Structure 1
């Protein structure tokens, strides 16, 4: 009896250890650093108490602008990911060729680590050697080559586009699961009642 109670822990122990090492421990260390003057550019570290928090809410700080940008970022990317995810889910829940392949391609970005995604798109959007600007120059569209991550007018949109690209596949997968869970009898009944495609949707 005792052995049967302990055995299930073997299944979650690895995940718990990985989560603890990669999330919990760095989080605790980050909280500790927030009470110091540590900087990545300097090895010196001194305890400063709540000084960093007071500076965030001081009159000379742009924390309100940061909060506003975060709110807009969340709203826009959530709407975009949900809308595109629904569009892809409806299209790929039908009996079309290569649907599993397309599902996999769209879902792939969501399983990439954030660090990898950041490094890849930092390289792609590099204003001098990035693939995107090099492509525009190669096809004679030099005027479209921009400083995507440097220009304040473009950086916000560029980061949102990357976040949408990374998250839309996950939303699509959830919606496909929901769509496929709906019994066909409801669609058949709606069609018999004369409902059009939009009404059945």
Structure 2
């Protein structure tokens, strides 16, 4: 009898051990460090309580920019990356010649590492030899040429354009998988009733893709909150700290400026924001889908 009680825990134990080792314990230690002032080298840490958090909220001029950039990145990801992914999935779900090839072409950028993507796009944005300025000159729009990654008002959006190219393949594949599970019977009945394509999309496709949307939105939101590699490789947070996001500013504070406590506090803000957004969303949408 006692063996049967503990048996489920024996199956859970390996996953629980990995979770505790890889996620919970490092997160708890990061929370602990956020209450100290420490340069990562000194043998002693100075306890400062909530001073690191107050420093970020009231005195750090970059932290609000990084937070706003994360918000812009998240909104852009949920609208543009996810929207383009859905549009491509709808197009490539039809019986088109060469659709398998196009699926691979659109998905290919997603399998590239962020550093490779950043290197490609930095060359494309090069003011003297880059593709964009040469294309504008060829079109007779020399006045539109820019040092795209050197202007504070444009740099973040230039980096995000690279993120669209890099990331649109993932939602496309997920939406394709969802579309292929939808039976054809509702569409045939809608055609007989005289429903237009827009009405079929609104009243058949979108409701039947609810479960897929839950997954895609959650993944997109998490990915947008922890974005780092493209920003770091393309702009390093510049120019004038205008493209920093929370993850890049956390890296700079922790490893460039040796402010382990401040960097840990930023990571806790990032964890808290992600949890506040993701957990209620997944809970509400999952609960609603099972009503």
**TM-score when normalising by structure 2:** 0.51
Contact kept, 8 Å, 1:147 with 1:154, in 2: the verdict is no
Distance, in Å, in 2 between the alignment partners of 1:124 and 1:54 is 41
- 1:197 equivalent in alignment to 2:187: no
Q: 1:141 — aligned with what? A: 141
Report how far residue 95 of structure 1 moved: 0.7
Report how far residue 53 of structure 1 moved: 6.1
Distance, in Å, in 2 between the alignment partners of 1:137 and 1:192 is 52
Distance, in Å, in 1 between the alignment partners of 2:39 and 2:143 is 43
Q: 1:166 — aligned with what? A: 166
- 1:179 equivalent in alignment to 2:179: yes
Q: 1:114 — aligned with what? A: 114
Structure 1 segment 1-201 matched on structure 2, within 5 A: 37=39, 46=42, 55-138=55-138, 140-201=140-201
C-alpha change, 1:138 and 1:197, in structure 2 (3 Å) is: closer
Distance, in Å, in 2 between the alignment partners of 1:48 and 1:108 is 47
Report how far residue 52 of structure 1 moved: 6.8
SS at match of 2:194: coil
Distance, in Å, in 2 between the alignment partners of 1:75 and 1:146 is 25
Report how far residue 137 of structure 1 moved: 3.6
Distance, in Å, in 2 between the alignment partners of 1:68 and 1:185 is 45
SS at match of 2:70: helix
Report how far residue 54 of structure 1 moved: 6.2
Contact kept, 8 Å, 1:190 with 1:200, in 2: the verdict is yes
SS at match of 2:154: helix
Question: How many residue pairs were aligned?
Answer: 171
Report how far residue 117 of structure 1 moved: 0.8
Aligned-pair Cα RMSD in Å: 3.0
Larger RCO: 1 or 2 (CA < 8 Å, sep 6+): 2
Q: Give CA deviations for 1:129-165 in whole Å, capped at 9, x if unaligned.
A: 3232234345543222211111012101101111111
Give structure 1 stretches of 5+ with no counterpart: 1-15, 39-44
SS at match of 1:153: coil
Report how far residue 66 of structure 1 moved: 1.5
C-alpha change, 1:193 and 1:140, in structure 2 (3 Å) is: closer
Give structure 2 stretches of 5+ with no counterpart: 1-17, 202-291
Q: Give CA deviations for 1:55-78 in whole Å, capped at 9, x if unaligned.
A: 534424331222112111111122
C-alpha change, 1:103 and 1:150, in structure 2 (3 Å) is: same
SS at match of 1:165: helix
Distance, in Å, in 1 between the alignment partners of 2:138 and 2:118 is 25
